[in-house]
Structure 1
Amino acid sequence: MAPIRDGDTLLLHFTSTRPDGEVFEDTRSGEPARVTLGANQINPLFEEALIGKEPGETVTVALPPEKAYGKYRKRLVVTIKRTRLKLDHEPVVGEFIRVRVLGKSCLVTVLDVDEKRITVDANHPLAGETITYAITVKEILPRDG
């Protein structure tokens, strides 16, 4: 079979790993993802790494924070007065809740709770981390026509 080229539709499995080796995503136990190269469905760096590969091959791509989930920004850790929040339950540290941060509706992580205030983190939980992806090519699907 010919190697992968731009425009090919592929079946892929992904394993995503944090710097400490923790796997937080692994599609190998389910159906592979179907992606078409050049259709903006996956990170362009993944596409670049896949060009020229063949079914059965695995490529490893390490993305620095700015190419993965963004740099960790301290300004996205904010303390909000409870009176400004309209929560329907008592928040718990580690829980995700929806609030407005810097004028935007965000899903945030609760960091601290007291009687008057709640401190939240609007960074993505993986912000600031270099993420390593192992991408295995299961199949190149036939082109139509």
Structure 2
Amino acid sequence: MKIGPETVVQFHYTLRNAEGEELETSRGDDPTAYLHGADNIIPGLEKAMVDHAAGDVFTVEVAPEDAYGEVDPSRQQRVPVKHLLFKGKLKPGMQVLLNTERGRVPVTVVKAGRHSADIDTNHPLAGQTLSFDIEITDVRAASAEEVAHGHAHGPGGHHHH
């Protein structure tokens, strides 16, 4: 079966940046699962998946506009340190969580002061060209429930409790 609308895809990936450094990988764990056509993964990766089948191994380069977008300078702001969740000493470059009315969001510390910090709310991978080494492990038809919920269920997918 080929990947297309209303298929559930399981795949392993290794994500690298433009310099070839490994940023994350699913290997050694369960494959990741997603419902194709439901915006579960970044657009550039989803486009590259079309028409592939189980057993396919390939590498895809994804430009920032098809991944996490360009860096938006207006997304830097100053916040009281008490709104940040972190361990140890707050330092520039750290990934921390910011408490917002919509829940916790990951942010990057640009500058740390005693009472306030300058943070960047852009996705940590914004502005980067990403390279994914993909191995498709399984492709199956999505269930009616998965289509209704907009995501894959089961191993590597969404678990309802």
Same fold (TM over 0.5): yes
Q: Is the 8 A contact 1:16 1:132 kept in 2?
A: yes
Q: Is the 8 A contact 2:3 2:36 kept in 1?
A: no
Which piece of structure 1 moves more, 86-95 or 19-28?
86-95
- TM superposition shift of 1:5: 4.0
Instruction: Provide structure 2 residue ranges, at least 5 long, that are not aligned to the other structure.
Output: 144-161
Matches within 5 A, 1:1-145: 2-80=1-79, 84=80, 86-87=82-83, 92-93=90-91, 94-98=94-98, 106-115=105-114, 117-141=116-140
Give the AA of the match of 1:140: V
Change (3 A) 1:75 1:9: closer
Q: Is the 8 A contact 1:110 1:118 kept in 2?
A: yes
Change (3 A) 1:92 1:139: same
Q: Is the 8 A contact 2:8 2:35 kept in 1?
A: yes
Name the TM-score, length of structure 2 as normaliser: 0.66
Residues 68-93 of structure 1 deviation map (CA, whole Å, 9 limit, x = unaligned): 1121122223345xxx5545888611
Q: Is the 8 A contact 1:85 1:99 kept in 2?
A: no
Q: Is the 8 A contact 1:99 1:107 kept in 2?
A: no
Change (3 A) 1:37 1:76: closer
Between the aligned partners of 2:2 and 2:106, the Cα distance in structure 1 is 41
Q: How many residues align?
A: 137
Q: Is the 8 A contact 1:92 1:113 kept in 2?
A: yes
Residues 33-71 of structure 1 deviation map (CA, whole Å, 9 limit, x = unaligned): 222323332334433322332322123222211221121
Root-mean-square deviation (Å): 3.1
Change (3 A) 1:8 1:95: closer
Q: Secondary structure at the match of 1:135?
A: strand
Q: Secondary structure at the match of 1:52?
A: coil
Q: Is the 8 A contact 2:16 2:22 kept in 1?
A: yes
Between the aligned partners of 1:142 and 1:77, the Cα distance in structure 2 is 42
Q: Secondary structure at the match of 2:20?
A: coil
